[in-house]
Amino acid sequence: MDRVPILKAGDVLLVSIQTDLEDRTVMALREDLAERIVRTGARGVVIDITAVEIVDSFIGQMLAGIAAMSQLLDARTVVVGMRPAVAITLVELGLSLGGVQTALDLETGLRLLGAGPLDGGPSEAQDRR
């Protein structure tokens, strides 16, 4: 099974989804993220879906689930790079993704998390434990 790599930049975890997602892969990502948030004490998660061509109700629910889970672990999730066609389709599908914060691109997403641009950002966050 494919696993989505999780990168760390400062106290933000970065996930860039590059493939047509299989359900198991998304579920594994949720678990991996939970574990990484706790281990690194990350305060933010950015999920880049620029390359994702479709989001159906299951994947949408997973994104919402990841956002809710990260919030419980004291980290905010921002989904960035949703394609216009995907956004139009989600609205028609009836999925509002209300609890998911979104931003047009990575830079805006990072700014939302108070992380600033990657190059000038704060140095490695201390592990919380």
Ligand X SMILES: Nc1ncnc2c1ncn2[C@@H]1O[C@H](COP(=O)(O)OP(=O)(O)OP(=O)(O)O)[C@@H](O)[C@H]1O
Give residues in contact with other proteins (CB under 8 A). 20-24, 53-58, 61, 83-86, 88-89, 92-95
Cα radius of gyration (the chain): 14
CB of 19 to other proteins, least distance (A): 9
The partner in contact with residue 53, picked from ligand X, other proteins, none with C-beta cut-offs of 5 to 8 angstroms by kind, is other proteins
Sign of CA dihedral 117, 27, 23, 94: negative
Residue list 12-51, contact with ligand X (CB under 6 A): none
DSSP annotation of 81 reads -
| Residue type, position 90, single letter | L
Which of 19, 57, 96, 108 is the binder for ligand X (CB under 6 A)?
A: 57
Find out whether 37 and 73 touch, Cβ atoms under 8 Å: yes
Contact status: 96 vs ligand X (CB under 6 A): no
